[in-house]
Structure 1
């Protein structure tokens, strides 16, 4: 299958079909921001405010957010807002001074990890965190070669983009491997297949003189279409990486912070401990903070030969927000909610899908679900056009989701963690209405 993915994207050429205020704002946006930014949906969403799992337009119309993991504990959560305001009213500057809140957050965050992962370095985003993790891995191994999955996305800096083949980047020091696809290999051992392919990629890097620094994996394989089951399938590839002297870098930007429900971190579902963990997005509930958690001996070596400083990374205001996020996850039992509501969501999706041959698979863990559209059940050929049509039909019903996967054929349902059964019922009702039209 070589088809290019269809993207959930607005075509500026269709602006004349929009209402006057939206059309005017898009024109202003294009003049000021240029062509590099992308809007979702055939009819972009014009949002003015948000609360919990809802976004609100200028006229008070509300949209159910079943997509955004950045406001992981809900849009504008009062506890996070209060933490930001209090700290901003006291002090906010770089980390070359001592602050309680920065250390409080670092200690609280590290307490959610296995003991071997005992240091954290802060960044302003997940992209910067990927960049930093690559630097640490290459410094420690004295090798350049990195392996990623074929449709991975790990960020937008020069180094992160180099390991993001979904954005078209290539490099002689990068090798790509196929992501696990249990739907299309139901009888195969996806873990063993991944380990074998990684072993071949390691040999290729070493033969070409790049050496092997590490394997970077999104622990839920979201950009590759979402592969979360069976839990434990990453153990084989972890052994291969360690035997070859490389580091395992777990990207938890989408799979972390309780997203899968059963565990705080996606890697923990597989019973493994990576060497470095990359975080971002959900970390600050909308505030710009990311980080790399790792084994202290890696950071010790890196610190001896490299000076790392990032003016805004781990600043007190962002750390106050991030600390509040962890407190909310615990106090509101959002991981338990992710399990309960996530199970309810996938059961409802599976029940809904039965009469519709265009749905080939429903999969997920916690509050992360994928619904894969196919042209034919027997060949399992992806149907990106149907998936995208469904996304835009839902948007017109004020339900916000998107697509994912190498072909853009899988619905991406990844709501804030306080999502409710009532919200699932609304999503399922609206999705059912859309399916009858596709």
Structure 2
């Protein structure tokens, strides 16, 4: 195995510079992983609070076995008849409303969203797409075009004429956040913004092609849309000739616990649902599910849809194993119990640290909004950056996102436990105290703070993750 420095040097020569890593100045080299833990080249363990890809836990034995067993028998393209794709389709459709009855298998969430747009354009005959502010839907050109999170960057391509951006339905930091309004009223106010866009499109003599949104908004800052929002938006879009696409690539497969899909908590019925990341637990497999009517429109074009590897026997065997694992290990129930415990403990933490402006989430999808001032809600990316780095030093991996880079995101593997939550919360508590002390000392021109040294290592002896690993004997796995 290459040394870490050799890996860094070789990557700098061979891999595109824009393909960036977590922790750019001192990247982690991960050589193995198990369940909710990742291990570096020194075999030091890190608690993974990031990976919604390793949905049922890194290297889950049942998932690995399913892939190996199928690979040893057959792996080919999807133009040969095989049963795994049919079994996978049955499992998916059994979790969805009856109107969603036709599956198209692809390799990634980006491919899924690209195909969803194509289906919508063919079915409606329209081109105009409505997406959300700060949204991200994938890396294909068609998706960068509708992803405000990307096209609005300084080096981005800018908004295309057929793309319309609606305000993100964020009741804490968004356009509408009147504390005197109910959640339903705020949902209606945000929905009215989409209705206004639909009206403008129609005034130009055109119709809407599609409205696309994550059911829970991830890159936009772990935003939970308010009640009534999707109900009213879907009505407005359909009245304008469009279809409604629910992007479940990040939040599907039981992450919210009470339902298989996040859109189900809003009691709405999308016309197209896209799924990806967690479906294969890290293996490239994804799916688009739509109605019979939209599928028939696609068929009438006479253009064959062909995806060489989408839905191949190995990918579908792995996806089937992921489904079975979620059910046999009661991981949706775990998401409810541990997710509520995580959310409650984040709320408790917010009562101790004024830098926490808001806590929000559902299931194992939780965000902490860091602020400079609770009254003004001014974002605090400086604190977020500090916390991000210090948690890594304490061997706990979190990520920071949102339009202001001030949201701590939790979307861990579904095997996350209450003990893991305790380790994260006690460490966060100390790190927030360190930040406060550091800030206070900075105000009086003190350059060093107690218990912290500039080489990036804590002088504190208390290491919750280390103690947790010792209690769990995790090294023996």
Same fold flag (TM > 0.5): yes
* 1:60 equivalent in alignment to 2:57: no
Aligned to 1:312: 309
1:181-260 equivalences under 5 Å are 181-184=170-173, 185=177, 186-188=179-181, 189-208=185-204, 211-228=207-224, 230-260=226-256
Q: Distance in 2 between matches of 1:272 and 1:88?
A: 39
How much does 1:428 deviate? 0.6
Give the counterpart of 1:167 among 133, 136, 150.
Answer: 150
Aligned to 2:263: 267
Aligned to 2:357: 360
TM-score (norm 1): 0.93
Decide which structure has the larger Cα Rg and report it: 2
Root mean square deviation of aligned Cα? 1.4
Aligned to 2:135: 152
Give the counterpart of 1:180 among 149, 153, 169.
Answer: 169
Q: Distance in 1 between matches of 2:134 and 2:341?
A: 29
How much does 1:265 deviate? 0.3
Decide whether the 8 Å contact of 1:66 with 1:399 is kept in 2.
yes
1:22-101 equivalences under 5 Å are 22-41=4-23, 42-101=25-84
Q: Distance in 2 between matches of 1:210 and 1:321?
A: 43
* 1:433 equivalent in alignment to 2:422: no
Q: Distance in 1 between matches of 2:166 and 2:390?
A: 34
SS of structure 1 residue aligned to 2:72: helix
How much does 1:230 deviate? 4.3
Decide whether the 8 Å contact of 2:136 with 2:219 is kept in 1.
yes
Aligned to 1:346: 343
Q: Distance in 2 between matches of 1:291 and 1:209?
A: 34
Please say which of residues 268-277 and 228-237 is displaced more in the overlay: 228-237
Aligned to 1:296: 292
How much does 1:21 deviate? 3.8
Decide whether the 8 Å contact of 1:231 with 1:269 is kept in 2.
no
Q: Distance in 2 between matches of 1:97 and 1:234?
A: 39
Decide whether the 8 Å contact of 2:63 with 2:318 is kept in 1.
yes
TM-score (norm 2): 0.86
Decide whether the 8 Å contact of 2:55 with 2:414 is kept in 1.
yes
5+ unaligned residues in a row in structure 1: which ranges?
A: 1-19
* 1:133 equivalent in alignment to 2:116: yes
How much does 1:413 deviate? 0.7
| CA deviations over 1:242-286 (Å, ceiling 9, x no partner) | 211210000001111011111110110000010000111001001
1:358-397 equivalences under 5 Å are 358-397=355-394
Q: Distance in 2 between matches of 1:260 and 1:163?
A: 26
Decide whether the 8 Å contact of 1:232 with 1:269 is kept in 2.
no
| CA deviations over 1:48-94 (Å, ceiling 9, x no partner) | 00000000111110000011100100000000000000110010111
Give the counterpart of 2:411 among 409, 414, 419.
Answer: 414
SS of structure 2 residue aligned to 1:372: strand
Q: Distance in 1 between matches of 2:410 and 2:205?
A: 42
Q: Distance in 2 between matches of 1:117 and 1:274?
A: 8
Q: Distance in 1 between matches of 2:33 and 2:112?
A: 28
Decide whether the 8 Å contact of 1:258 with 1:335 is kept in 2.
yes
How much does 1:387 deviate? 1.1
Decide whether the 8 Å contact of 1:334 with 1:417 is kept in 2.
yes
Q: Distance in 2 between matches of 1:383 and 1:123?
A: 39
Q: Distance in 1 between matches of 2:402 and 2:305?
A: 35
Please say which of residues 147-156 and 381-390 is displaced more in the overlay: 381-390
5+ unaligned residues in a row in structure 2: which ranges?
A: 152-156, 436-477
